[in-house]
Amino acid sequence: MKTITHIVGRIVLYVLLTGSSIVMAFPLFWMISTSLKSLDEANASRIVWVPTKILLDAYRFILTDPDFLRSYFNSIFYSVLALAGTLLSIAAVAYAFSRVEWPGRNVVFFLMLSTMMIPAQALIVPQYVFFNKIHWVGTFNPLIIPGYFAGGAAMVFLLRQSMAQIPKEMDESAFMDGASHLQIWWEIVLPLVKAPLATVATFLFVGFWNNLLGPLIYTQTTSMYTLPVYVAQLFNINSQVQPWPTMMAASVLTTVPLMVLFFFAQRYILEGVLITGLKG
């Protein structure tokens, strides 16, 4: 009797798990499926689960669109450049908060944690005025350079927690050998926190890649659009028939880097959520 209820319970469990997974992943499937359809099938009034004939026209069209390619390049340029500086500065600041004893450290650290409460969007208005004054509106600078000042208190916190767990003896013995703090940071501490660094890098990259509000405010010409801005304006309310296959082809190409990243970095992502979410 017990085993039968157990088996039934397990079956129900797997049905629920699989069903939920299908629902959660469905938009992705639909995006890919629509991108391979003909225009008629994409706008059909009956359900077309998969295209009757796989068409690559939409991809051919979008991949020869210079605006799309340019915004793709812009997104890569912005994300990579912003990521490099932000990651390095966060690593430096986390080192100061975990491996060095200095007066005022706790005060500054507390100050940094309390900035997590200030939503970034609440600062966009005065920051816009500032960037407007120094003629940075219409360039990529406002999207990239603020991050170089260790933008992202939660990320600093995450990295600090990992750095604090390294035994003190490691750098003490290095000191005896005459190493400087810069060397200890670069040659001893950073290699030991590779996994948390990967977590931080993943979160930062996803944040930059998905960022819509920033590029919307600061990039003002089509040639400077990043992917989120470009893709969002593909939908044109005035046209009678929406070119869904083309839009979805652009969407698939936009999300490919995220999916690849998620596939390889999911372990780091899941750990990172737990560190920042639960101890913060």
Partner 1 sequence: MSTNPYLYTLVWACGAVVFIILASLGLGRLARFVVRLFGGSKIKQSNTSVGFTFAAPWIVGFLIFVVAPMLASLYWSCTNYKIPNPPTWNGLENYTRLILQDKEFRGSLLNTLFLTVVGLPLQIGVALFLAVLLNQKSRGERVYRMSFYLPVILGFNTAVLLCWRLMLTAGTGIINQIIRGLSNAFPPFGYLNRLFIYVTEIINAFFISLNNGNFTFFNKTLAAGFPAANRVPMWIQTPLWSKMSVVILMVWICGTMMLVFLAGLNNIPRELHEAAEVDGAGSWKRFWNISFPLITPYIFYNLIVGMIAALQIFEPIYVLYRDSSTLAPSAYSMVYYLWRATFRFNEIGYGSAISWIIMVIILIITLIQFRLQNRWVQYELY
Identify residues 106-165 at the interface with partner 1 (CB under 8 A): 108, 111-112, 115, 117-119, 121-130, 132, 138-141, 144-146, 148-151, 156
Report the nearest approach of partner 1 to the CB of residue 53 (Å). 19
Q: Mark 152-170 as b/e (b = at least 16 C-beta within 10 Å).
A: bbbbbbbbbbbbeeeeeee
Contact predicate 199/270, CB 8 Å: no
DSSP line for 83-103: HHHHHHHHHHHHHHHHT---T
DSSP conformation class of 185 = I
- Give yes or no for residue 1 binding partner 1 (CB under 8 A): no
Q: Which is nearer to partner 1, 57 or 137 (CB)?
A: 137
Does the CA dihedral 77-80-84-87 come out positive or negative?
positive
Residue 150: other Cβ atoms inside 10 A: 21
- Give yes or no for residue 46 binding partner 1 (CB under 8 A): yes
- Give yes or no for residue 34 binding partner 1 (CB under 8 A): yes
**Rounded CA separation 26/237 (Å):** 25
Report the nearest approach of partner 1 to the CB of residue 55 (Å). 17
Q: For tokens 């501490």, name the residue.
A: 189
How far are the Cα atoms of 23, 27, 48, 77, 266 from residue 20, in angstroms, in the given order?
5, 13, 21, 36, 19
- Give yes or no for residue 69 binding partner 1 (CB under 8 A): no
- Give yes or no for residue 212 binding partner 1 (CB under 8 A): yes
**Rounded CA separation 57/63 (Å):** 10
Applying CB under 8 A, the span of 52-60, 61-69, 161-169, 204-212 interacting with partner 1 comes to 204-212
- Give yes or no for residue 195 binding partner 1 (CB under 8 A): no
Residue count, binding to partner 1 (CB under 8 A)? 103
- Identify the residue among 11, 30, 60, 69 touching partner 1 (CB under 8 A): 30
- Give yes or no for residue 28 binding partner 1 (CB under 8 A): yes
- Give yes or no for residue 175 binding partner 1 (CB under 8 A): no
- Identify the residue among 8, 50, 105, 222 touching partner 1 (CB under 8 A): 105
- Give yes or no for residue 80 binding partner 1 (CB under 8 A): no
- Give yes or no for residue 231 binding partner 1 (CB under 8 A): yes
- Give yes or no for residue 235 binding partner 1 (CB under 8 A): yes
Among 205, 208, 196, which Cα is nearest to 260's? 205
Applying CB under 8 A, the span of 9-17, 56-64, 163-171, 190-198 interacting with partner 1 comes to 9-17
Report the nearest approach of partner 1 to the CB of residue 20 (Å). 6
**Rounded CA separation 221/133 (Å):** 19
- Give yes or no for residue 237 binding partner 1 (CB under 8 A): yes
